[in-house]
Structure 1
Amino acid sequence: MQWSPLRPVGLVPAALVLTTIAASAEGGKSAGPSEFLLVAQIVLLIAVGRGLGEIMQRIGQPSVIGELLAGIMLGPSLFGWVWPEAQHAIFPKTPEQKAMIDGIAQFGILLLLLLTGMETDLKLVKKVGKAAIAISIAGILVPFACGFVLGEFLPDALLPNPQQRLVASLFMGTALSISSVKIVAVVVREMNFMRRNVGQIIVATAVIDDTIGWIIIAVIFSLASQGAPDIASVGRAVLGTLTFLVVSFTIGRRMVFQLIRWANDNLVSTAPVITVILLFMCVMALITHLIGVHTVLGAFVAGILVGESPILTRQIDERLRGLISSFFMPVFFGLAGLSADLSVLRDPNLLMLAGLLVVIASVGKFGGAFVGGTLGGLNRRESLALASGMNARGSTEVIIATIGLSIGVLSQNLFTMIVTMAIVTTMAMPPMLRAALAKLPMNKEEEERLEREEFERRGFVANLERPLLAVDESVNATFTAHIAGLIAGMRGLPITVLHIGQRAKEQEKGRDEDESHEAVVKKAAETVSVNGDGEAGGVDVITRTRRAELGETIADEARKGFDLLVIGVDKVTASKERFDRKIEDIAAKFDGPLAIVAAKGKHLKQPMPDTLNILVPVSGSGVSKRGAEVAVALAQAGSGSLRVIYVTTTRDKGAQRGASRRLNQEEGILRDTGDLAARYDVDITTTLRVNRAPEAAILREIDTTDVDLVVMGVDRIQGDHLSFGGVADAVLRQAKVSVLLVSSGEPHRGPPQTS
């Protein structure tokens, strides 16, 4: 049977009837809070919310709209209007029962802000900072002024406490000026504009809007809690907020990274990193509460710090997103919808005020963002796209409205009007933004940047997050540590040094501190920061010592999420075309990419060279490109030279046919490698050789040039022992200079694809 997008809605009446009957029976047993009713409420909110969210996504709307509509359907606006007895039975207004699900919703707010913070890309804000800040200021001031003026003229009947009109007006200004980062980012990403200039500015502006909005909300919360304007208390709240932010983004950033890595590397229980993140979020929320501002600011900042952690961010994000999206979001937004009684809009005056609120919010935000875009240097079409994107309030608006209702700044009717405004502006934004973005052409500079970023996105080095360095006490280990430090230093990657020698602990204690592998890694990384653009450099190094059998030690480390294992041991090869047993044991327990280093020649005397003269063979295969990437990165970091050799073999029977086509292919491969080097400002020398045996041509190139390191991208060949094919084996054994083999992750079936 073909699936119908409306089929989930058919479950709603049946679920409501069954739940109502059961709720009525349960309600007759006890007047106190009921666990049964709590579970029934959660079941309905999740089932209806997720079902409507699915439908919304299929028609191009954010799923949060479906979750809000689910609450409106289950609340007094529809279900309570059609069958009030049943609605009251399922969602009674007794304080004890309401407090049970409200507690879940309040924790859901913190988790939603944590996730929002994790999605906040501060690097993007820095990248387009000047334009985004200018646009954000105008995009906030205009709608904020409109909301403040509206708050000053609201009838007293709409305010829960007319004596606190100033607080309500400030709250209205904030509510109208904020945008939803999540919904803006979803639409921009869906349109493939996330990496376009205007797309980055739109998202960065929304991030700044959100951040400023949460700070303002925190201060308003402090103001509201005083009962009357108090300059001293507001001053304390502002000073406390600024201090909190400064400490968070200095000491806090480092602390979060250390916490995440410690939990990931040392705790053996299920999902320990998630536990640490949730505890950290709660502590940050408690801190902001203690300094007199709302807990949401602490959760939001905690999310930003977690998102900036250089390790495991993808896995963390996926696990948290699943829990929040499937449980807490439908419960929270469903409850927000339940609190919004749209039946009050049958009053012509309230309906007119709600319409006026939507118009003022849309015109204020659209106009402010358009003016800001123009002042920020965007053209008319780009400013139009920006203004279209900024008008979505979405989940952010609902969270703010819920906070306003809970602290007594908003009345029930005003809350309903704001939720209505959030729904209308959010549903209008996606089609408007899609239409505006579709008309934006791409300039040459932007096209070149996108090509470069797309290449890096598909690249190997640019996507490394956490390398593991396995070394013993040999000279080769020191040279390997130098190589690993250069790779890690290119992007400031945290690196773990694992000492695997039999006497590793005693040997390391006996070493001079400046000669330790950790010191070698750090020194190499600092060299990168001097030679590079200043963004790379200092790396965080942690030391581990082998405490069990070699295979068991590597297996334990492999479970911690490393994406590259760099091996440096005294003996690399053994007899009969095999690697040393130690290397085979290591490789057998690590499924990811390997980098095996063999120091030779001058590197045995000088394992920490000032420069590297590199030769990289290329063939056009995927592993060959990976080797070329590593070679280019090392050439850039090591301030040396780079030679590229392509060997065309005469082994094939048809070698004499199609010479012209083959020449074009060879030139294309060399040109691609040249383009790769040019992206990193590395000068290269290219060589084309014709030889029946590729290994012979590579070895001859080594003997006739001044290279001191060969970097080869190789495939792991499936078999009963570690092998990278005959070409790699010949170069590794016969070359008189150092060799670095960079392998693919999984064993390759079939003929080897070496460089």
Structure 2
Amino acid sequence: MPWRLLRSAGLVLAALALTTIAAGAETGKAAGPSEFLLVAQIILLIAVGRGLGEIMQRIGQPSVIGELLAGIILGPSLFGWIWPEAQAAIFPKTPEQKAMIDGIAQVGILLLLLLTGMETDLKLVKKVGKAAITISIAGILVPFACGFALGEFLPDSLLPNPQARLVASLFMGTALSISSVKIVAVVVREMNFMRRNVGQIIVATAVIDDTIGWIIIAVIFSLAAQGALDIASVAKAVLGTLVFLAVSFTIGRRLVFQLIRWANDNLVSTAPVITVILLLMCAMAMITHAIGVHTVLGAFVAGILVGESPILTRQIDERLRGLISSFFMPVFFGLAGLAADLSVLRDPNLLMLTGLLVVIASVGKFGGAFVGGTLGGLTRQESLALASGMNARGSTEVIIATIGLSIGVLSQNLFTMIVTMAIVTTMAMPPMLRAALARLPMNKEEKERLEREEFEKRGFVANLERPLLAVDESVNATFAAHIAGLIAGMRGLPITVLHIGRNAKQQEKGRDAEESHEAVVKKAAETVSANAEDDTGSVDIVTRARRTELGETIAEEARKGFDLMVVGIDKVIADKDRFDRKIDDIAAKFEGPLAVVAAKGKHLKQPNPDALNILVPVSGSAISKRGAEVAVALAQAGSGSLRVIYVATTRDKGAQRGTSRGLGQETGILKDASDLAARYEVDITTTLRVNRAPEAAILREIETTDVDLVVMGVDRIQGDHLSFGGVADAVLRQAKVSVLLVSSGEARQAGAEKG
């Protein structure tokens, strides 16, 4: 490990030397801005920043610390001190050259705040809102008062404009009171405490801190622009911010979702959703700038709205995160480090003031958060963990300090002191938080919730984002719409209804509004939402009609990122031991999971029942567990009963022995199903059948119980035609009750089929 680090350091130094020589030659050619120097600066900031970030992560520190240290190393603090001519050649202070990379850094700020907003969970904030608000207020007031008092006593030499001390003092108060939601969230997540109760409160409090901090910065920005305490300008900034937030989280939330959906479904160019998100970010940044607020608030709110969109959030996050983390973050934080000349701390007075600033910032934030946690009903241990986590200033502090420097509120020395404080508090946060959380016990309720959430990470239903319902004008289609509505209603998923009948558009328009498939979906979803403890939100429904051949229509829809297709058409089974041709065509063009619905029995007369009595066969396979998961979800949403059956066939060694010892595997599989149902508070009845063919046992169970729906998880079997295996085929053909077959996304070779 040390040899690797030395080798990496040698490579960086060699690259630095070569870049310096080339930069010197380039500087001599022209006095104007140079694209070569811009690229050289970016190369060094990314290479050194990412390299140090990697080292920081390996020793338990956030990577942003390494990126800040990279700027300090490449700046006047070290490189400029050792070799000032080379540092000046690579990072000249000419306004034109500096403006080129500053522009990239400003875009980086917006993108960083966009990503931070996308990571913000508003439901989390609402859940712990009362405690978080109490903690946030106390955690802001105490350090704000300390920072304001420090600002009032700062020497005039540290202020760029001593006559505007009030603005500088307000800015110091804000700088000391705000926490970095990004650093806090990253550290808590890396320590696997994001979903702990105290972890939720820490992140929610940091979110509120950030929001309040940006509003205060907006007021200070207005004050700095006016040069005095102008009540009208302050009122404009505050009221403008409140109106902007109100409109954003009402009309804006819906508008952002519709724009993302429209771009994904209608644009054929590369990454259209990313384009729309970037345009939204820039538009909202311009709006906040127009009302007298800094652009970062607009980007932050845009990120929250994008993160609230129920579709494509994971893909968007993955694509944006790589670009921001690998390019914009090293450049922005590297430039912040470049602007901090730590060599000025050789002055004993400045060093003492910086130490005082770190102590006041830490004691003020720690003490305020601890008092707020106590007032918010937390235990002493929880309050200690909270206070430890809230002390990290990190990226938010650097952004605020950069803004303060750019608008003339902070001097260069004061900026350096604040950046130093941000680095020290951020590096101290992880070990303090680890020590505090290690002593924090987990209660039974929290343990059960975490186990359920861990299961849901690997689950199918919990990770659905966007189902597609393909229907014709049959009764079976209405029942399929009811099933799809129950699934979508559990988490407020947007759903697209695709009418695939030959005259789908005209026939659907001719149906009674209350009987339309859209109405059935909405009614089922609203029933689920009304019974749910959490606010799942309304289900957004889009209707599409088939305009081309069925296969072409399905292929066109499949590219839009649907992760489940529910199929409800009049004829499911053909005459010759195979599915209907339409089902075959749909399965051939849609590679994702299918849910094939076949309404029978009472569901032909009542296709949108008030309750479902479900039977689900299990075998212990992954696809069988998927079927059980869907069955549990439908039972929870449909307020019905759930029966689970496992059939131990003569192929099972345990069944052949016929001993209770030999049935351990089978009872274990049934226990897994019971545990799954218990996680969602669904009552189930389990049945174990021995020495029977699976299909015969399942059909017998249907005849002797009151079930009205069989849910089976099935694999696609490779072949010329769609097949789910002999057991599924027999149940589908012979059962006198409705059947729902939930398939895997990929076909497998036929073989070793087990019910």
Matched, 1:642 2:642: yes
How far residue 175 of structure 1 moved from its aligned partner, in angstroms, is 0.7
Alignment of 1:154-193 (within 5 A): 154-193=154-193
Partner of 1:694: 694
Partner of 2:102: 102
How far residue 750 of structure 1 moved from its aligned partner, in angstroms, is 5.1
Tell whether the 8 Å contact from 1:528 to 1:537 is kept in structure 2 after alignment. Answer: no
Q: Secondary structure at the match of 1:4?
A: helix
- The 3 A distance-change label for structure 1 pair 643 and 537 is farther
Deviates more, 1:445-454 or 1:481-490: 445-454
**2: CA distance between counterparts of 1:58 and 1:683?**
46
- The 3 A distance-change label for structure 1 pair 195 and 375 is same
Q: Secondary structure at the match of 2:647?
A: strand
Alignment of 1:421-440 (within 5 A): 421-440=421-440
Partner of 2:728: 728
Alignment of 1:37-48 (within 5 A): 37-48=37-48
Partner of 1:549: 549
**1: CA distance between counterparts of 2:285 and 2:529?**
36
Tell whether the 8 Å contact from 1:717 to 1:724 is kept in structure 2 after alignment. Answer: yes
- Residue identity opposite 1:670 in structure 2: L
Q: Secondary structure at the match of 2:43?
A: helix
Q: Name the TM-score, length of structure 1 as normaliser.
A: 0.97
Q: Deviations over 1:53-79 (max 9, x none)?
A: 112112221111111111111111111
**2: CA distance between counterparts of 1:668 and 1:13?**
60
How far residue 753 of structure 1 moved from its aligned partner, in angstroms, is 5.1
Tell whether the 8 Å contact from 1:715 to 1:753 is kept in structure 2 after alignment. Answer: no
Partner of 1:512: 512
**2: CA distance between counterparts of 1:748 and 1:3?**
48
- Residue identity opposite 2:572 in structure 1: V
- The 3 A distance-change label for structure 1 pair 615 and 317 is same
How far residue 694 of structure 1 moved from its aligned partner, in angstroms, is 1.3
Partner of 1:55: 55
State the percentage of identical aligned residues. 88
Alignment of 1:96-175 (within 5 A): 96-175=96-175
Tell whether the 8 Å contact from 1:526 to 1:537 is kept in structure 2 after alignment. Answer: no
Tell whether the 8 Å contact from 2:655 to 2:663 is kept in structure 1 after alignment. Answer: no
Partner of 2:201: 201
Partner of 2:490: 490
**1: CA distance between counterparts of 2:12 and 2:665?**
61
**1: CA distance between counterparts of 2:172 and 2:675?**
53
Alignment of 1:243-282 (within 5 A): 243-282=243-282
Deviates more, 1:18-27 or 1:76-85: 18-27
- The 3 A distance-change label for structure 1 pair 331 and 724 is same
**2: CA distance between counterparts of 1:654 and 1:709?**
29
Partner of 2:499: 499
Tell whether the 8 Å contact from 1:691 to 1:697 is kept in structure 2 after alignment. Answer: no
Q: Deviations over 1:417-475 (max 9, x none)?
A: 00111111111111121122222222222212222222233222112111011112222
Alignment of 1:474-489 (within 5 A): 474-489=474-489
Partner of 2:631: 631
**2: CA distance between counterparts of 1:628 and 1:406?**
58
**Alignment length (residue pairs):** 755
**2: CA distance between counterparts of 1:20 and 1:672?**
64
Partner of 1:69: 69
Partner of 1:558: 558
- The 3 A distance-change label for structure 1 pair 231 and 706 is same
- The 3 A distance-change label for structure 1 pair 534 and 414 is closer
Deviates more, 1:404-413 or 1:217-226: 217-226
Q: Secondary structure at the match of 1:573?
A: coil
**2: CA distance between counterparts of 1:263 and 1:204?**
31
**2: CA distance between counterparts of 1:719 and 1:725?**
11
Alignment of 1:592-611 (within 5 A): 592-611=592-611
- The 3 A distance-change label for structure 1 pair 452 and 753 is farther
- Residue identity opposite 1:231 in structure 2: I
How far residue 651 of structure 1 moved from its aligned partner, in angstroms, is 4.1
**2: CA distance between counterparts of 1:748 and 1:533?**
39
**1: CA distance between counterparts of 2:365 and 2:652?**
67
- Residue identity opposite 2:743 in structure 1: S
Partner of 2:34: 34
Partner of 2:89: 89
Alignment of 1:145-544 (within 5 A): 145-533=145-533, 535-536=535-536, 538-544=538-544
Q: Secondary structure at the match of 1:645?
A: strand
- The 3 A distance-change label for structure 1 pair 430 and 658 is farther
- The 3 A distance-change label for structure 1 pair 178 and 653 is closer
Q: Deviations over 1:125-161 (max 9, x none)?
A: 1222222222111111111111111011111111111
Q: Deviations over 1:168-197 (max 9, x none)?
A: 111111111111122222222222211111
- Residue identity opposite 1:216 in structure 2: I
**2: CA distance between counterparts of 1:163 and 1:285?**
31
How far residue 322 of structure 1 moved from its aligned partner, in angstroms, is 0.8
5+ long unaligned stretches in structure 2: none
Q: Secondary structure at the match of 1:310?
A: coil
Q: Deviations over 1:669-713 (max 9, x none)?
A: 333323333333333333333342111111122122222211111
Q: Name the TM-score, length of structure 2 as normaliser.
A: 0.97
How far residue 666 of structure 1 moved from its aligned partner, in angstroms, is 3.3
Q: Secondary structure at the match of 1:579?
A: coil
**1: CA distance between counterparts of 2:630 and 2:332?**
48
Tell whether the 8 Å contact from 2:116 to 2:181 is kept in structure 1 after alignment. Answer: yes
Tell whether the 8 Å contact from 2:218 to 2:293 is kept in structure 1 after alignment. Answer: yes
Deviates more, 1:539-548 or 1:154-163: 539-548
Q: Secondary structure at the match of 2:687?
A: strand
Q: Deviations over 1:344-401 (max 9, x none)?
A: 1111111111111111111111111122222222222222221111111111111110
How far residue 653 of structure 1 moved from its aligned partner, in angstroms, is 6.1
- The 3 A distance-change label for structure 1 pair 343 and 530 is closer
Deviates more, 1:379-388 or 1:2-11: 2-11
Tell whether the 8 Å contact from 2:654 to 2:663 is kept in structure 1 after alignment. Answer: no
- Residue identity opposite 1:619 in structure 2: S
Aligned-pair RMSD on alpha carbons?
Answer: 1.8
Q: Secondary structure at the match of 1:441?
A: coil
Q: Secondary structure at the match of 1:660?
A: coil
- The 3 A distance-change label for structure 1 pair 654 and 123 is closer
Q: Secondary structure at the match of 1:661?
A: coil
**1: CA distance between counterparts of 2:518 and 2:564?**
17
**2: CA distance between counterparts of 1:592 and 1:108?**
36
Partner of 1:571: 571
Matched, 1:708 2:708: yes
Tell whether the 8 Å contact from 2:114 to 2:299 is kept in structure 1 after alignment. Answer: yes
**2: CA distance between counterparts of 1:398 and 1:52?**
18
- Residue identity opposite 2:336 in structure 1: A
- Residue identity opposite 1:78 in structure 2: L
Deviates more, 1:252-261 or 1:363-372: 363-372
**2: CA distance between counterparts of 1:462 and 1:490?**
9
- Residue identity opposite 2:567 in structure 1: I
Deviates more, 1:636-645 or 1:52-61: 636-645
Deviates more, 1:69-78 or 1:397-406: 69-78
- The 3 A distance-change label for structure 1 pair 749 and 439 is farther
- The 3 A distance-change label for structure 1 pair 598 and 166 is same
**1: CA distance between counterparts of 2:309 and 2:3?**
41
How far residue 754 of structure 1 moved from its aligned partner, in angstroms, is 5.5
Tell whether the 8 Å contact from 1:159 to 1:410 is kept in structure 2 after alignment. Answer: yes
